Structure 1
Amino acid sequence: MKRLLLCFLAGMLFSLAGYAQVPSSSFTIPSTACLQERIIPANASTNATSLQWDLCADDFQTLKNNISIGTVSGLSVGAGYKLVEDSGNWYAFIVSQNNHRVYRTDFGNSPLNVPIQTVDLGNPGSALLFPQDIEIYKANGKWYGFVGANDSGYGLVRLDFGASITSSPTATNLGTFGVSGRFWDVKVVEYNSNLVLVIDERNTGSIIRVNFRSSFDNAIVNASHVFVTSLITPNLSPGFDMVQVNGNWIALLTSYSDNKLYQISFGSDLFSSPTVQSSFSLPSFNKPTRIRMVTEGNRYVAVVSNESTAVAVVDLKDLNPANAPTIITQNGLPTFLGLDVERFNGKSLVIGVNGSNNTVRQLVFESDCGVASSFLTTTSPVITYSTSGNKVIELKAINSSSLASSLSAQAVTISSATAPDIDFSIVNSCINAPVNFTAINSSANITSYGWNFGDGNLATGNAPQNTYSTAATFPVTLQVSSSNGCNNNISKSHTIYNAPQASFTMPSASPFCTSQTYQFTNTSIFDGGSSPTWQWSVNGNNVSTTKDLSLSFVSNTSQQIQLTAAIPGCSTQSVQTINSLATGPLVNFTVGAACQSSAVTFTNNTIGTVTSYSWTFGDGNSSTQTNGQNTYATIGSYQVTLQANNAAGCQNSFSKSVTVYSKPQVDFSIGLPPFSCAGNPSQFTDASANPVDSNLSSWNWSFGDAANGTSTSRNPAYTYSTAASYLVSLTVGTNFGCSTTLQKSITISPSPVASFTNSTVCKDQVTQFTDASSGSIQSRLWQIQGNTITTPNPTYTFTASGSFSVVLTLTATNGCIAQSNKVIVVPVPPTLDFQVAKPCVNNATVFTEITNTADPAVSQAWVFGSVGSGTSTPVIFNFTTTSNYNVKLSSTRQSGCTYSITRAIAISDAPVAGFNPSVESGGAPLLVNFTNTSTGATSYTWKFGDQLASASTLVNPSFTYTSLGDYTVELSAFNSLACITKATSIISVVVPSIDLVMTDFYLSKDAQTGLLQPVVTIANKSNVTITDPSVVIELADGGSVRKQLTASIKPTKEITQMLDFQLIPQAITYVCAEVQAASDIDLFSNRKCVALNDQEIVLTPYPNPTTDTLTLDWISKSGAMVSVDIFNSAGTVVFQQNIAGVAAGLNRLSIGVDSLPAGLYFIRFSDSAITRSFKIAVSKK
């Protein structure tokens, strides 16, 4: 595998002595590895104070973040951008071309942060003129800035910040160094112990190198210190950057006019004339401007800004001209003018400013190559990859003294095979004793094991042993191979210790006695860090694992004491013997409460025969009493010892530390009025000082009133019912049982009595509050919904519903306070509503309140526009005209509140009921079809008036009446508003009596044709309706025409109709019209005739022959008197009648002939104009 070592120095403080501190980055790794294989670089770096490992040094392939980090206010074309770090804090400097200013952005401890602030540094000394790019550099403990200019011949400006990068800089124009042109880009490099300023002149593509030697404050002599090389190409170069590769200085320049990137080489001599090594045309270039290079792993990467298109990321490979650069494609990159590139914590960072909208964006490139953490700072990290492929590991060595750094990179190919998992355990750590090593693996595919125990010994197998002959810490390494060809390894440090040497000292006692505790002190010798374990045993029984042993004996037989000291793998023992023990008493005592200046009682609980006791109380006092008692003058801890002596010579003792605590210094106070008033809580405050050695833990108050009030609160509030003086006592105790009691006399003052009333409370209505308090009142304070009012009887309007606390606080002239608190319930205003039924003219319109609320109504008042009013619910009102009426309901609720609602109610026309029966009378059974003629109705109810109360809701029903009688039919017509009107009609069921009368008949003459059209008028004098009667028109010549009329004629009604045919009047002397109906009781009245000339017309008598009655009809024109005579065959007049007052038209005379003998007769008709005779025959039945 090809390996490339890249090394460059950045930010190094310049001094000859500093070169001894130049770090060198170097490491080696295997060229191949498997997934999850532990790769441990062999770090050979020198002169480094810190290391930074980037395990995924291929970041520019992955754009992780592309975010805006703000807009610089006041910036106008950000032509240059520079990131710098100082003492762990990051800053950026931006030059503003059009308004000649420079800005500083503060990022805090990371350039990945959102900027903390941006500081406008203005135009220092007014030295900047259309500034182009900026370089910031620290040399000899001072910070400098270098700024180019767009104006030809203006020169280069140096900014001096002093020791702090955050200082306001001063400015110096360094001139043009004898070069006429525009200085568009500038960079500081260190070359052969010199500080060199490299400048790119835009117009001619000249490269200027200014040698400041050891300090930027040195004077420059152009002939000696300035080196200028004019390049034919590139043309119009607005940006460059340079690095040192293998001792040769390489620069890359952008070419604005031909969209190229030029690579030039100075060789190892920076001051020599460079040569153009190559030029490259790249597809993403569009008038390229700034360029910044960075080393990433084993390659160089450049970020190039374009004038109006997205920045380009260029893979420069190893800067060998033979390896042409390529574009690293990324979507969504922004457009920058000024920009800078940094490698930070394993990430590649690009920050730049848009030249048009002054927005600053941050691009973070970070590759995910399958490691848990890609950025490490350890000396020799353990690296494992979870994904396969080519991985680049980069090591940056840093020297904090010189600020210099060095980079190196190595590549490793990770296969798709997985390395075996491996671990091992270690048992034992003792010199010259076997140490057991056991490999731990779950993949079960290991084929070989290789152990290196760190002492020169090696082994194979999965569970070897090794015996170390010296005590030290050894590096143990296990390397394994698996059946898939993968390897793995693990290293651990293991420390080998000398065996501990057990020993202990016995207590000095003579005799040894039972029931006495003795101390055995461990004096064993062992290696530091070995952490031996201890085991004490007595007579072969284990009794303790503590380092030292406290032990008492219960038997007076011989006792063998043994101490075992052990570390993993080895142990030693020490044994000592007590040959005999005397029987001693078991000493013990208890202590009562131990309080300063109070007698402390010690109770002796010793068991056994005792000849004498001796107490020492730790304060110099002692006692020989069985039970001790001592008073301590001062607080503190005292070692109290009780010694019990017996006849065997035993002097057993028991000691206990006793702490004597101070008593509390009790004090208390009571507040002045209003905190000491009758009827209100009086506040007592414990003023006892907290003892320095204990805590106050109990309080017992006795308030001295008739109720014998008490409290155990520290600061109680107690209510006295009566104003008076009281003797109050307080006993305060501590957590250690010490207490003190204090008594004081206190005075309780009288309180006023607070009370108030209020009027009905309704939302958005004024409520009157009235003070009803008593006592010597100095002031009042009302609290209502957060409002405070001081007037005696305030009014208040609640604007919301709910329960509200109204508090009246009184202050009496003696300072006492009384309070009355009422919860005022403001009812929720109901959403008034009412419903309207039958809102029609001349209907009983019903208004009903339908409000649903928890506050029920008790009364209602209604106003119906300007036409009336009403009360209660429901209420009925009759409107006489249609209109929109404003109906107002005022509803008084149980709460006493009255609410109103007004609604516009439309009063509409009521429906108009009407119907026509098919017949109004007739014989039973009588079928009547009812035709509904109602208007404005949507539903109907019919009542037929029969005994069964028959009804129907059909629009046009039918009903059959089966019994004689008069029936009142009622139709109720309803509209959609439920309004109703009614119509009635009487149906008569009768025995039919038919009598049609032809009341008029005439012929209507057509003025055009002269034709005659019959017109008849027929009256119904029947008691039933006649439907569609027939009319027969008889002509004088014997012809006739029958026509059936289409009409229904009710009783007492008549109709007039013109018949639909015409007559030709020639040769017609008369025309008769007869209406025909079955069972007509008066046939003569059915007939009318009209004469068509001026003569009277006499019709042939009928019937002929006749038996009893002979009928003679004639048509009179003048109405003159008529004579009728009947002659028998002998010429004798057998009948004669003169008829005066004859009506014009048809007349009839009926003559009874039943008294005449059978035979032939002559009848003669005569009037003033004519005489007519007819032969008749009379026959007998």
Structure 2
Amino acid sequence: MSLVGVNAQTIVVQSGSLNLCPGQSVTLKADNTITPTPTYQWLSSSNNGTTWDTIPTATNQTYTTSTAMLYAVLVNSTQYTYVTVTSNPKPDVGFTFSPTNQCSNVPVNFSNTTTVPSTYTWNFGDVNSTSNNTATATNPSHIFIGTTGNATQNFSVKLVATSNVGCKDSITKTVTTKQLPHIKLGGSNESIYNGSTFFRDCSMGGSASLTFINQSNSNSTNTNYKIVWGDGSPDYTSTNFPTPINHSFPLGTTTVLYIISNSNCTDTATYYAFIGSNPAVGFVNPGNSTICTNSSLTFPISNVASNSLGTTYTVTFNDGSAPVTFSHPPPSDVSHLFTTTSCGTNSGTYNNSFSATITASNPCLTSTASVVPIYVSQKPNASFSITPKDTICKNSNITFTNTSGNNSYVNAPNCSDGKVVWEITPATGWTINNGNLGNTYSSADPNFWVSGTASISINFNTVGTYSVKFKAGNPVCGMDSSIKVICVNPTPTASFSLSNTSGCSPLVVTANGST
């Protein structure tokens, strides 16, 4: 059977997908609302639509199949547009890994051998690795956390591969690692600072002694303990660590390594010793902190000489710029360019102001100093747009619109919009449709201006060239201006003459046009 006159109505997928994976089926539906109920006959083609075969008993509005072919349906003997059902393979999933049977702190590298282009989801069966327990990379690497001890442990690693048409398959393999000893060092005045563990003496008495204690819970299988003090002194090494020990450190921060071994593996933890005190810091007000945009201020940094190494300084301006961080010793001052107005920003009790803050921090404590208020007004940058264009015909309208913003300025504690004035030269040959020009009263000081509107509409009724000057200003940052030229042309007058206006057919007529 061959089919002609295919109807534009369609077959839809009621369930499943036209892209079949092994073991799947799809239910097709003739999409119509014909009443009374029409007759249906489903057809299939295995030769790309060259011929069609009737499917016996397939006489309902829907048809379910698990075979890849072309399918069509006759509804009241009218064929709907056919659909193509394709068969797709599952990915042939596989992977290898190395090394194996190593200590848990040795990364295991996975090599994906899956065929069929796919996306991947790995589960390493290592719940103690939290968010690192899964991955989507093609060839990931994983450090197994597991549990501590002195034996081996097994992890069930599962890889799921999904092809670009949604066909899935998976494989699970076992990875064996050797357990690490449990490692934890306790010590004097322990705290967490910037995500790291510190032991501290904050009395600022020069060098100081700190006490350390072994807090490992795998002592029965631990075979060796080692502390690398990080200050050049000999390491502490022992086959047991039953009682607290003391060690003296210089001012500042020292990196301390704690190393524990069992019969199979060795693990290392990093700690820090800090000798110092809470830091001091000052931020000096430079004065003249009422400025315009694109102006800089320089802030001297003071009272930091007694701070110890390991102190960090963070300078923050609440104008949207990124913080700046320094290590001890910091520079003598910090300069900052203010590019936006402070209008709309509140700093503590100061409305419409910015602040500058320096924070000095170390493992002992944090200190801050601020400069506030900093008032930043908008420096005018006059600009305007022309609609529809700058060359027009007589008696046409042009709209001029301020595009330079409000030019707001701070009159503490308030903010006000700047002023705009329009000037058109010559002063005749045009009329105002909408808006008003404002007036400078021949003054360059915006304090004395009467502001015009942000947009004006002008009708130019006389041929000529006009200069439009736009002035924007505020009392703090002065004024700026922009000039554009408008060309007004005569309205064209169309006329033409004919060489002949009457005669016998065929009549040759020549037309001559002019404006």
TM-score bracket relative to the smaller structure:
0.3 to 0.5
Normalization by structure 1: what TM-score? Answer: 0.18
Tell which structure's C-alpha radius of gyration is larger: 1
Higher relative contact order (CA 8 A, sep 6+): 2
